[in-house]
Amino acid sequence: MANTFGKTLRELRMEFGVGQEELAKKIHVSKGIISLWENGLREPVMSNLIALADFFDVSIDYLTGREGAIT
């Protein structure tokens, strides 16, 4: 998840024109945690995934690279 998630998060941030610091403030985490997520060094907890999905108006499955996955 981390690699796909980090890449997707970075792409969404760029698409929305939002810096790490601004995103961090919007979802109530530190700028450093955004960097760790994007670099695949940490994974977000569910409450942060929900906040990101709401902010970017995408599904959690999209964020984690599971969209379209067969379960």
Residue 69 lies in a domain: no
Q: Letter for the amino acid at 52?
A: L
**38-61 pLDDT, tens digit each:** 999 999 999 999 999 999 999 999
Residue 32 lies in a domain: yes
**1-28 pLDDT, tens digit each:** 547 899 999 999 999 999 999 999 999 9
Run of H or E including 22: helix 20-27
Residue 70 lies in a domain: no
Report how far residue 67's alpha carbon sits from residue 45's, in angstroms, rounded to the nearest whole number: 19
Q: What CATH code is carried by the domain that includes residue 47?
A: 1.10.260.40
Tell me, what's the pLDDT at 67?
75
Q: Letter for the amino acid at 55?
A: F
Cβ atoms of residues 31 and 21 within 8 Å: yes
Tell me, what's the pLDDT at 17?
97
Q: Which residues contact 4 (CB under 8 A, 6 or more apart)?
A: 64, 65
Domain count for the chain: 1
> Whole-model pTM?
0.88
